[in-house]
Amino acid sequence: MNHTDQQERAEGTMLTGEQMIEMYKWMVTVRHFDRRAVNLQRSGRIGTYAALEGQEAAQVGCGYALEKQDWLFPTYREHGVSMVHGVPMTTVFLYWNGRPEGCMAPEGVNVFPISVPIATQLPHAVGAAWASKLKGENSIAVGFVGDGGTSEGDFHEAMNFAGVMKLPVIIFCQNNGYAISVPLSKQTATETLAEKAAAYGVEGIRVDGQDAVAVHDAVKYAADKARRGEGPTFIEAVTYRYGSHTTADDHTRYRDVNEAEMWRTERDPIDRLKARILELGIWSEEQDQALWEEADKVVQKSIEEMQAMPPVDHNRIFDYSYAELPWHLKEQREEMRSLYGNGGAK
Amino acid sequence: MNHTDQQERAEGTMLTGEQMIEMYKWMVTVRHFDRRAVNLQRSGRIGTYAALEGQEAAQVGCGYALEKQDWLFPTYREHGVSMVHGVPMTTVFLYWNGRPEGCMAPEGVNVFPISVPIATQLPHAVGAAWASKLKGENSIAVGFVGDGGTSEGDFHEAMNFAGVMKLPVIIFCQNNGYAISVPLSKQTATETLAEKAAAYGVEGIRVDGQDAVAVHDAVKYAADKARRGEGPTFIEAVTYRYGSHTTADDHTRYRDVNEAEMWRTERDPIDRLKARILELGIWSEEQDQALWEEADKVVQKSIEEMQAMPPVDHNRIFDYSYAELPWHLKEQREEMRSLYGNGGAK
Amino acid sequence: MAKMNIIQAITDGLRVALRDDPRVIVLGEDVGVNGGVFRATEGLQAEFGSDRVVDTPLAEAGIIGASVGMAVNGMRPVPELQFFGFIYPAVEQIVAHVARVRMRSQGRFTCPMVIRAPYGGGIRAPELHGDSPEAMFVHQPGIKVVCPSNPYDAKGLLLAAIDSPDPVLFLEPMRIYRAFRDEVPEERYTVEIGKANVVKEGTDISLYAWGTMLRVSLEAAKMAKEQHGWDVEVVDLRTLSPLDRETIIGSVQKTGRAVVVHEAPKTAGLGAEIVALINDEALLSLEAPVGRVGGYDAPQPLFSLEDIYAPDAKRILHGIEKVMNF
Amino acid sequence: MAKMNIIQAITDGLRVALRDDPRVIVLGEDVGVNGGVFRATEGLQAEFGSDRVVDTPLAEAGIIGASVGMAVNGMRPVPELQFFGFIYPAVEQIVAHVARVRMRSQGRFTCPMVIRAPYGGGIRAPELHGDSPEAMFVHQPGIKVVCPSNPYDAKGLLLAAIDSPDPVLFLEPMRIYRAFRDEVPEERYTVEIGKANVVKEGTDISLYAWGTMLRVSLEAAKMAKEQHGWDVEVVDLRTLSPLDRETIIGSVQKTGRAVVVHEAPKTAGLGAEIVALINDEALLSLEAPVGRVGGYDAPQPLFSLEDIYAPDAKRILHGIEKVMNF
Ligand SMILES: Cc1ncc(C[n+]2csc(CCOP(=O)(O)OP(=O)(O)O)c2C)c(N)n1
Ligand SMILES: Cc1ncc(C[n+]2csc(CCOP(=O)(O)OP(=O)(O)O)c2C)c(N)n1
Ligand SMILES: [Mg+2]
Ligand SMILES: [Mg+2]
């Protein structure tokens, strides 16, 4: 129990070379998506966007270790892991375009709508895992949180429930060192976040979040353990976001630019995995260039899909408030239609 | 840092024999108070009451280690520590009699009104300590919580703030093994509560809560440390409540009666301190008998004081809602007076 | 048919739900071994096992949040909050999540769950045990709020709530948990959510109440008859959200006068919404301003003052008199 | 006098408070180095030091709870909640403690503090950033609620709030943080809490609004004049709790008709209380039901729908027309 060091535990990896390549492809796609999203925001075609650049290994490594039936409870930054788990890229774009369709994972893809209020979805992950356990299903749940989110009461209550009930859940924390402008040192008096797990009788693992393989292996270990009925795991993936918290702030106000530069040049997760697969002789620079071009096409196609969407259907404000609309909502919907039309409703 | 064992740390005690006797006297008084309160509830003369019998050492030991200027943020069970800190017994009786006067500590006695919602007053203790620090005052703050209360989000947020800001605060936890009917094993997956402190970079101390001297020394150590500016301490005092959670429940529904019996006969805090002072030759059976008689008088006098109170002043509903009553409250107060009179208002 | 009080009817309703639907799970502080602090879950853990009737850690946000996850993943959780006044730590979970799962996911996920909470003052409990913040939840779209005033409705509304595809806040009038018994069918039945009940017909003035205040209102109605010869119509709202407009408006259209009664502070309480609804729909029927008899706009006091704080028959009668003598 | 927008007026108010009163401490998420996500606290940490302008951990209950302890122990904390929609985790602290310290301790302790929160929708932010749960806090006795609609009131109300011996919830209309500038005195001044402001006199109908909705209401008033020749009186409530009865009732007594506008869902919103207040005090003056133009009774949607969700001038005009044509 408690605060094992991932590097010590696993020599090598559970992954095949092919799998590493697949992860690598995801990471490149996610990075490309992310950069395009930032640009779309700059040109006013989507709203405020939370970039993840720098955190691709943490997200893809995590998503790649999960099974189709598993449940995800993401924050606003989990585009990477959500896409790996089956949320279409266009859905993600739609979310940041303020479209309600952006909250809908496809049928069969168990990804909960993004939770904006920090840490509040962690108890949901715990509850979903609890339900899986009660139903005797083979699915586990993963709740996402940032370093800042560990200060919230909901983090505590979720971790404690998970520990007491020994549930098949992973609380996956991307420690990128900052909660908007607040550095970790003002967030907690502990050195690491993984050590907090002990307070709940939960195993805590700290992993290099820039190493996709290490992240994958940690999550796979935790997932297998959860599926065996051996309870929850807290994983701290140490990472960094290269840019600002979202497109609405300016990280140079509160971070040393050299720090970001250091991470980008010395600890880039894509460079790192690329070096590994090149070294293994299973990847080439030609393939790499083709991959970036392919990613560009994929993202471009998705953007076009987003832009080709009909105008938002105004009725969506009402139609899912309740299973059946009560009288006052029916009347308000009528009034809305008479004033503003139906938007893009068919 | 972290989870030191009090017994190992201190040989002997910081207390003089005289001080031990003073503590002992408090414990006897508190126990007597408690038993009378339970009886008063049974005969319908006060409302639901939360008995503390069994926890006298934890409470008196704690209260005795504090200074006059210190701040207390008690729960519904802290009658013992509150009285030691200067809240008149009659005030405590009035609280359980549902009287608003029961929430008022005398001027100069920094005891916050009892907080019924669990753990919610712990952030207050943190804030009060923060204010003391900012003002450069020599006072510290103590927040109280039970074993069950450690599961609440507010416990977490308070501990974390205390750790990050290195505040002169003690979070004093009486682990009596149960939160109403829920045993510790269903409350947390950890063995102890003290070990949770590490998750906040806070020193955690586990102490035998039946040993008033040990409790005192632990609290004194933490208080001195806090006053020196060396930050917060979490103290787990392992104790037991002999009776039910309050007079409204029946502990035999959820606890083994033998367990309570064992604590009562083998780990009674009053027996224990008595044995110690008898052994030291500074106390006699005659003194002991006189003490119980004296306690009886003190409590009896206080009960009479409570009963001699004029009927409750109805205006108290309104008069402290705001510094100055807004119009609607003035009107409502008028209406109340016209319907029900003024109660015991002068 | 068996005679049951409200608490027994609730226990019976929970038993039926646990028996008929394997997705139902009861959870909360002290609901298991102890059977709840009011004995609402008495015997259920023994009957259905500790997987289905679960003692949780002391953490309201955790209880409600975990219930959200369970509901989304196919269960029908019935969490208990020990008292309505302890719902505050769970407000975030309820208003940001429970009420919004269906909307946020545009129907992809749903959150059918029933949050039970003993509600209202009057049992000489310590502070916050007697708070009545129902207006908070009536204001929040996406969650329904019901409150029975008698054993029959208690079981019927509870089963309707557990069957409901929407989340429901189920408020239990604790002051009258054991006040009286009624005939309650032993089999499954439901009382429709969204329907008020005219419990006493009358022609002079409409009295709207729910939960504990219903019987106090009936008492005031009786006094109004005796002292003034006024014939008071008493409407038990039963569902606080969504309101039963038809019944509420129908009554005041008939009587031309109305008073709303609740324990919560008057300002911005549910009474204000009912006044506003009458303003919207029946202003021209009104012969006098609609009266509101609420708790005072001061925090719920310690119990020596709670009888003066909450409306009693005398104060309700006074409210009726003001409207009748307008 | 300087020209300032609302955000500058708030920063200026905070600066004056920090300068004049050593007990004042500003705390919250990102308020220090970063100067707040809206730059409301820009430059204050540099000027007053990190002991007085403090970046806290990410924990709303902790922030408000710690502020309670500070206030009780002699400070004047001014905590910031990053958005009003993130107040939910702190509801327990606010309604059970902040609002009740004075009452619970019967005056022995007080809790003077000002909780600041950017409020309302309209900035294309993600979910919950645009929630408007003010009614929750108006319903809670013991805490005052204010909301300026212009730079002058912003600074004046903020300084009055910080001076107030009672806790105050200070709502900042973020959509118009930078929408316009007004003359704002550089020295200390206060705007009295509890006083509404008739910003445009009129004779045909009274429009009650606050914060962001004030200017939208003025626009609707202009349209009403242009399109129908109606002379609309527009009242800026400024203080939401306690309400300024005199001004509210005075206006409707004059005009005989009224509409309340807010962004929050209509049902059980603050509009209901204003309708009820008018019912209480001016029913006989009414020539038509008081209209309510609110957000819809559905959760605040993602931003592609927020312009349709919140009242705009067109919808307010529609509300005015319904009342005028009654
Ligand atoms: C309850 C709540 N409070 C405040 C916010 C505003 N907010 C959004 S992101 C953020 C910082 C989160 O930091 P962290 O948890 O480290 O995650 P990161 O953004 O770094 O991934 C804050 C304060 C929020 N969304 N929810
Ligand atoms: C927020 C909140 N939830 C629930 C309750 C009801 N309640 C009162 S005491 C109690 C158990 C507390 O147990 P513990 O913290 O161990 O303290 P103890 O009573 O044993 O001293 C509960 C659940 C409450 N007072 N506050
Ligand atoms: Mg972070
Ligand atoms: Mg306990």
Question: In this predicted model, what pLDDT tens digit does every residue of B14-36 receive, in sequence order?
Answer: 899 999 999 999 999 999 999 99
For residue C126, the model assigns a pLDDT of 87
Work out which ligand 2 atom sits closest to the CA atom of B117: 26
What CATH number was assigned to the domain covering residues A3-309?
Answer: 3.40.50.970
Confidence grade of residue A3 (pLDDT, cut at 50, 70, 90): very low
Distances (CA, A) of A9 to A23, A207, A229, B26: 22, 11, 20, 54
Q: Does B159 touch chain D (CB under 8 A)?
A: no
A 10 A CB-CB count for B185 gives 10
Model ipTM?
Answer: 0.98
Domain that holds residue D318: 197-324
Encode pLDDT of D292-305 as tens digits: 999 999 999 999 99
Which of A332, A333, A338, A340 would you mutate first to test chain D, the one with the most D CBs within 10 A? Answer: A332
Contact C297 B253 (CB under 8 A): no
Percent of chain D residues past pLDDT 70, beyond the cut? 100
Residue D192 placed within a domain: no
The reported pLDDT for the residue numbered A2 is 36
Nearest to C251 by CA among C271, C273, C236: C236
Give the total number of structural domains in chain D: 2
What does the CA dihedral D119, D208, C250, A334 come to, rounded to 10 degrees?
-60
- The answer to whether residues D171 and D228 belong to one domain is no
Q: How confident is the model at residue D1 (pLDDT cuts 50, 70, 90)?
A: confident
Same domain, C142 and C222: no
Q: What is the pLDDT of residues D82-101, one digit of tens each?
A: 999 999 999 999 999 999 99
CATH of the domain at C252: 3.40.50.920
Cα-based torsion angle of the residue sequence B147, B153, B157, B158 in order, rounded to the nearest 10 degrees: -40
Q: Are D309 and A317 in contact (CB under 8 A)?
A: yes
pLDDT > 90 in chain B, percent: 95
My answer on whether C44 and C123 are in the same domain is: yes
Mean pLDDT of chain B: 95
* Nearest residue to A57 via CA among A174, A202, A152, A206: A174
Give the best residue of C24, C73, C273 to mutate against chain A (max A CB count within 10 A). Answer: C73
Same domain? For D132 and D233 the reply is no
Domain residue spans in chain B? 3-309, 311-346
Using a CB-CB cut-off of 8 Å, the residues of chain D touching A120 are 89
Q: Give the position, in ligand 1's atom list, of the atom nearest the Cα of D88.
A: 1
C286: left (phi over 0), alpha (psi -120 to 50) or beta: beta
| Residue B337: active-site member | no
Chain B residues near residue A201 by CB distance under 8 angstroms: 188-190
The CA-based angle C212-C216-C217, given to 5 degrees, is 110
Q: Evaluate if residue A6 carries a pLDDT over 60.
A: no
CB contact under 8 A, B199 and A186: no
Binding site membership of B114 for ligand 2 (Cβ less than 6 Å) = no
**Is the previous residue joined to D301 through a cis bond, with omega within 30 degrees of 0?**
no
Whether A9 shows a pLDDT value over 90: the answer reads no
Query: Which residues, numbered 65 to 94 in chain A, qualify as contacts with chain C under a Cβ-Cβ cut-off of 8 Å?
Result: 71, 73
For residues D149 and D211, the answer to whether their CB atoms sit within 8 Å is yes
Question: What is the distance between the alpha carbons of residues B33 and D89, in angstroms, rounded to a whole number?
Answer: 38
Examine the fold and report which residue of D138, D158, D184 is the final residue of a domain before the chain moves on. Answer: D184
**Residue that wins the pLDDT comparison between A10 and D204:** D204
Give the model's pLDDT for residue B346: 67
What DSSP element (H or E) covers C295? strand C291-295
Q: Per-residue pLDDT averaged across D248-257, rounded? A: 98
Q: What is the pLDDT of residues A163-216, one digit of tens each?
A: 999 999 999 999 999 999 999 999 999 999 999 999 999 999 999 999 999 999
pLDDT in tens, chain C (326 residues): 899 999 999 999 999 999 999 999 999 999 999 999 999 999 999 999 999 999 999 999 999 999 999 999 999 999 999 999 999 999 999 999 999 999 999 999 999 999 999 999 999 988 889 999 999 999 999 999 999 999 999 999 999 999 999 999 999 999 999 999 999 999 999 999 999 999 999 999 999 999 999 999 999 999 999 999 999 999 999 999 999 999 999 999 999 999 999 999 999 999 999 999 999 999 999 999 999 999 999 999 999 999 999 999 999 999 999 999 99
Q: How does D238-269 read in b/e, with b if 16+ C-beta sit within 10 Å? A: bbbbbbbbebbbbbbebbbbbbbbbbbbbbbb
- Does the active-site annotation cover B320? no
Give residue B13's pLDDT: 84
Q: Is D286 in the same domain as D228?
A: yes
The verdict on a CB contact (< 8 Å) between D299 and C142 is: yes
Could you tell me the pTM of the whole model? 0.98
Residues C28 and C64 in one domain: yes
- Cβ–Cβ < 8 Å for B200, B163: yes
Cis link prior to C242 (omega < 30° from 0)? Answer: yes
At position B46, the amino acid (one-letter code) is I
Question: Which one, of C94, A49, A114, A36, lies nearest residue D125 by Cα?
Answer: A49
Same structural domain, C208 and C160: no
Q: Give pLDDT, residue B4.
A: 41
Same domain, C10 and C130: yes
Say what the pLDDT of residue D227 is. Answer: 98
Question: Best of A55, A75, A118, A145 to mutate for ligand 1, by most ligand atoms within 8 A of CB?
Answer: A118
DSSP letter at C38? T
pLDDT digits over D115-171, tens only? Answer: 999 999 999 988 889 999 999 999 999 999 999 999 999 999 999 999 999 999 999
Put simply, whether D288 touches C (Cβ < 8 Å) is: yes
Looking at the structure, tell me whether residues D152 and D22 fall in a common domain. yes
Q: Flag if A163 and B188 touch (Cβ within 8 Å).
A: yes
Residue D73 and residue D176 in one domain: yes
What average pLDDT is seen over chain D?
A: 97
Is residue C129 among the annotated active site residues? yes
For chain C, the farthest-separated pair of C-alpha atoms sits apart, in whole angstroms, at 59
**Single-letter amino acid code for the residue at B174:** Q
Going by pLDDT thresholds of 50, 70 and 90, the confidence category of residue A346 is: low
Same domain, C122 and C220: no
Residues of B whose CB is below 8 A from D108 = 103-105, 107, 113
Same domain, C205 and C178: no
Q: Spell out the residues 6+ positions from residue C62 whose beta carbon is closer than 8 angstroms to its own.
A: A123, A126, A154, A157, A158, A160, A161, B151, B153, C56
pLDDT in tens, A25-63: 999 999 999 999 999 999 999 999 999 999 999 999 999
Question: CB–CB of C242/C144 below 8 Å?
Answer: yes
One pLDDT digit (tens) per residue for chain B, 346 residues: 334 443 333 347 889 999 999 999 999 999 999 999 999 999 999 999 999 999 999 999 999 999 999 999 999 999 999 999 999 999 999 999 999 999 999 999 999 999 999 999 999 999 999 999 999 999 999 999 999 999 999 999 999 999 999 999 999 999 999 999 999 999 999 999 999 999 999 999 999 999 999 999 999 999 999 999 999 999 999 999 999 999 999 999 999 999 999 999 999 999 999 999 999 999 999 999 999 999 999 999 999 999 999 999 999 999 999 999 999 999 999 999 999 999 988 6
Strand pairing report for D24-28 and D76-80 = parallel
